[in-house]
Amino acid sequence: MSDTSRSTRRGPAAVAGLVAAASALAVAEAAAVALSRPTSTPLLAVGDTVVDLTPLPVKQFAVDTFGTADKPALLIGTAVLLALAAALVGAAAGRRRTVGLVGIAAFAAVGLASVLTRPGSGPLDALPTLAGAAACAGVLLWLLGAASERGGSPRAADGAAPSPTPSTGDREDAPAGFDRRRFALLAGAAAAASAGTGIGARLLTASAPAAGLTPGNAVLPRPGDRAAPLPDGADLELDGLAPFFTPNADFYRIDTALSVPRVDASTWSLRVHGLGVGRERVITYAELLDRPDLRERDITLACVSNPVGGSYIGNARWIGVPLASLLAESGVRSPADGGPADQLVSRSQDGMAIGTPVADVMDGREAMLAVGMNGRPLPYEHGFPVRMVVPGLYGYVSACKWITEIELTTFDAFDAYWVPRGWSARGPVKTQSRVDTPRDGADLGRGRTTVAGVAWAQHTGVDRVEVSVDGGPWTEARLAEEDTVDTWRQWVLDWDAGPGEHRIAVRATDRDGHTQTSDQAPPAPDGATGHHTVTVTVA
């Protein structure tokens, strides 16, 4: 149509593209809030989809580089790429409006595909993306119009002519009729309106009180079966040493959710079904809290992605219901007792699927459906209202947060989320130890120095921890009192530090007599190995 008669210069056209994209995100955000579907914004959904599609090495790189800031890093990266694309599409649309509209349609298609394939999404979730795309097209055409030449231009009629405005400055070639100040004003106003709308919408979602039963107002009964008091001397309380119980606020968080699910516990339920389940069962939060076998247990939770010496491990006093009893009530038998299912698949509100060996859950260990963490209802970040915790298994094969469904099946019949992504289907926690103090790279004074850390050999127990300085003989450290075989154990050793640079290595031996290997292995596919070693300089 008017494609060639209303050409717009590249610079202003790119700006128009950028502002149009910003308005798209803002309108989508506002629409998502208005529909009270805060997770249906295309940026988040695309981000979530990228997370799911990212191959393991890239994911490991992201975790190694950004740690638990990998999510903001992903969103910022996505936004930067989007801005680049928007500027390019805008510049192209300056020449041909249809290119712009096709570009917007392509982005809307990606957004729609992401939004509509997120777990639990419905047709309504398409609206924010569609509204955003409409706003984008409107703002783009409007700003391009404001920045376009109006007749009298030398290149107006002939689309095939080489551009008369190659790399010279804007000013001398500014076409007649293009009011630079007016364009700047309009673009600035549109950008400001977008920023205001987007930020306002975000603030509204962030401040909106969550409905129903929340971590703030749920009240947990005092479990009849309390955890034994922590033995004296289990927490050495040394400077620089991880405390025995990890406060909820400091507990590591690893999951694929870009926005934390905020499940209302009053409408939450858990469905238990599948192979060998006598009768399908649906359990509510109130029913869980009412159970006489509600109990309190100390369990250390570790992530398979934890590098040697890393911080993706924590220890908490959990409140929950024994998972084995619940399964037994539903008729489930362990494969060891002839049960047909060898895999328990737990699914979550946000579409995660985690596979756990039924044999492990039913072998007598304290596998739990947890509702409480260190005396409080679970925080949203750690799976409110209910999550699984299984001592001795890495989180990715056991610790489903925001759990909504348990299906009994087989490992042959189903690959859980992490398996096609390069992680082992079974993930027992490897015996490991860590030096917490002194820190790697520390500068120390000479003389008596406290070396201390934690060690874990889950469900077996730590028998011995040894330290070697500069490759010398292994010296036995003093172990703190043991809480249970399912928790980590602190250790400490006095070291007489002489001047120079020193390497301090640690290794643990479990009660089966197995000593940690010195072979270095990366986290994938089934957990890192090697001795944690810190290098310090003594003056």
For residue 248, the 8-state DSSP code is: G
Interface segment toward ligand MTE; rule CB under 6 A; list 99-107, 245-253, 336-344, 529-537: 245-253
The CB-of-305 to Mo ion minimum distance in angstroms stands at 5
The CB-of-38 to ligand MTE minimum distance in angstroms stands at 17
d(CA 404, CA 265): 11
How many Cβ atoms are within 10 Å of 361's Cβ, its own excluded? 24
* Interaction between residue 382 and ligand MTE (CB under 6 A): yes
Q: Which is nearer to ligand MTE, 129 or 246 (CB)?
A: 246
Q: Which is nearer to ligand MTE, 131 or 323 (CB)?
A: 323
d(CA 333, CA 320): 21
Nearest to 357 by CA among 416, 411, 278: 411
> Exactly one of 252, 318, 384, 396 binds Mo ion (CB under 5 A); which one?
396
Helix (H) or strand (E) holding 95: helix 70-95
Binders of ligand MTE among residues 10 to 29 (CB under 6 A) are none
Strands 368-373 and 387-389: antiparallel
Residue number of the CB atom closest to ligand MTE: 395
Q: Give the distance, in angstroms, between the CA of residue 67 and the centroid of all CA atoms in the same chain.
A: 10
Binders of Mo ion among residues 290 to 319 (CB under 5 A) are 303
| Among ligand MTE, Mo ion, none, partner that 298 touches (CB below 5 to 8 angstroms by kind) | none
**Size, binding site for ligand MTE by CB under 6 A:** 18
d(CA 31, CA 39): 11
Interface segment toward Mo ion; rule CB under 5 A; list 213-221, 253-261, 361-369, 426-434: 253-261
> Exactly one of 175, 392, 395, 428 binds Mo ion (CB under 5 A); which one?
395
* Interaction between residue 255 and ligand MTE (CB under 6 A): yes
Binders of ligand MTE among residues 271 to 330 (CB under 6 A) are 301, 303
Q: Which is nearer to Mo ion, 183 or 396 (CB)?
A: 396
Q: Which is nearer to ligand MTE, 48 or 466 (CB)?
A: 48
Tokens representing 120 are 């639990």
Helix (H) or strand (E) holding 434: strand 432-437
How many Cβ atoms are within 10 Å of 425's Cβ, its own excluded? 16
d(CA 36, CA 27): 14
The CB-of-313 to Mo ion minimum distance in angstroms stands at 10
Tokens representing 231 are 């033995």
Tokens representing 331 are 């008729």
d(CA 504, CA 498): 13
* Interaction between residue 195 and ligand MTE (CB under 6 A): no
> Exactly one of 156, 254, 277, 425 binds Mo ion (CB under 5 A); which one?
254
Interface segment toward ligand MTE; rule CB under 6 A; list 29-37, 183-191, 252-260, 292-300: 252-260
* Interaction between residue 431 and ligand MTE (CB under 6 A): no
* Interaction between residue 383 and Mo ion (CB under 5 A): no
Helix, strand, coil distribution of the chain in percent, nearest 5: 35, 25, 45
* Interaction between residue 256 and ligand MTE (CB under 6 A): yes
d(CA 70, CA 64): 9
Q: Which is nearer to Mo ion, 32 or 352 (CB)?
A: 352
DSSP, residue by residue, 177-237: T--HHHHHHHHHHHHHHHHHHHHHHHHHHHHSPPPSS-TTT--PPPPSBPPPPPPTTS---
Q: Which is nearer to ligand MTE, 299 or 493 (CB)?
A: 299
The CB-of-385 to ligand MTE minimum distance in angstroms stands at 13
CB 428 within 8 A of CB 529: no
The CB-of-52 to ligand MTE minimum distance in angstroms stands at 10
Residues near ligand MTE (CB under 6 A) are 251-256, 301, 303, 348, 350, 352, 382, 395-396, 399-402
Residues near Mo ion (CB under 5 A) are 254, 303, 395-396
